[in-house]
């Protein structure tokens, strides 16, 4: 039904809202794709084609979402569902930055490399966490000491991934110039990394018994992915070309002094 009534509880609400939100996202991307083709003469040439790819990806995402329900939440399909969702987040965040900066210079090579490695690390860590959660590995390990492989891998990777993100932040601040002027975004990365580490520790201390903490852990990971993707695509503003100075002798007045 459109709105479950007497069956509504927190579990039903989460399922219902998830599908409703997915429908809204799909319609929004479809409208954006149609608009990009209608006004393609006023937009960058790559935009209509990227919008078409986004519509295809969100349709594929809907298919994976249906499979997760029909197959009763298999770990591999749920992890693939999250991987595709994070791919959509990366593309939309990067796309937004490129449209906000239509005329900009290329960012420094070290900026693209470090931010790209940090982005790849956070995405990989998120997928490891999804694999751990959907295979119930954390519960098995914490309760019975079994199937601890995914939990140990997720914990051991947390420190290197956080270090890469912080290395990018420190390098950008030391380099100065344009990269240092991005300090609000860099500060945001530090805050999100700190919150993510704290939520991860709290999740394990609580034995994954509090869904709200687990959801917050995944939400902060998605925000980290979005912010890093924006910084990968962010570029310095193009310096305006100075106008030539033309001196006309007939219009110049005598200057004494």
CA atoms in the 13 A half-sphere facing the CB of 16:
12
User: CB under 8 Å to 11, separation ≥6 — which residues?
Assistant: none
pLDDT score for 252: 54
Provide the 8-state DSSP code for 129: H
pLDDT digits (tens, 9 = 90+) for 174-230: 999 999 999 999 999 999 999 999 998 898 888 777 888 888 999 999 999 999 999
Terminus-to-terminus CA distance in the chain, angstroms? Answer: 87
pLDDT digits (tens, 9 = 90+) for 230-243: 999 999 987 655 55
More confident residue, 244 or 2: 2
pLDDT digits (tens, 9 = 90+) for 97-134: 999 988 778 899 999 999 999 999 999 999 998 888 88
Task: Report the alpha-carbon distance of residue 152 to residue 140 in Å, rounded.
Answer: 12
């Amino acid at each position: 039904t459109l709105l479950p009534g007497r069956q509504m509880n927190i579990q039903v609400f989460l399922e219902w809202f998830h599908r409703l939100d997915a429908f809204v996202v799909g319609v929004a991307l479809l409208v954006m794709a149609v608009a990009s083709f209608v006004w393609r003469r006023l937009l960058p040439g790559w935009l209509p084609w990227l919008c078409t790819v986004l519509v295809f990806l969100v349709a594929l995402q809907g298919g994976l979402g249906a499979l997760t329900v029909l197959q009763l939440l298999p770990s591999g399909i749920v992890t693939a569902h999250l991987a595709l969702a994070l791919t959509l987040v990366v593309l939309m965040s990067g796309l937004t930055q490129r449209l906000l900066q239509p005329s900009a210079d290329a960012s420094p090579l070290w900026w693209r490399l470090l931010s790209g490695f940090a982005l790849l690390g956070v995405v990989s860590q998120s997928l490891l966490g999804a694999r751990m959660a959907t295979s119930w590995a954390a519960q098995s390990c914490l309760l019975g000491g079994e199937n601890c492989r995914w939990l140990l891998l997720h914990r051991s990777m947390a420190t290197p991934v956080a270090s890469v993100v912080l290395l990018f932040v420190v390098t950008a601040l030391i380099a100065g110039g344009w990269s240092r002027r991005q300090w609000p975004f860099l500060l945001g990365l530090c805050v999100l990394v700190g919150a993510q580490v704290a939520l991860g520790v709290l999740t394990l201390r609580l034995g994954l018994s509090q869904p709200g903490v687990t959801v917050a852990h995944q939400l902060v990971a998605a925000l980290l992915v979005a912010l890093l993707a924006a910084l990968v695509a962010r570029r310095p503003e193009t310096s305006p070309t100075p106008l030539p100075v033309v001196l006309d002798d007939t219009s110049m007045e005598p200057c004494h002094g």
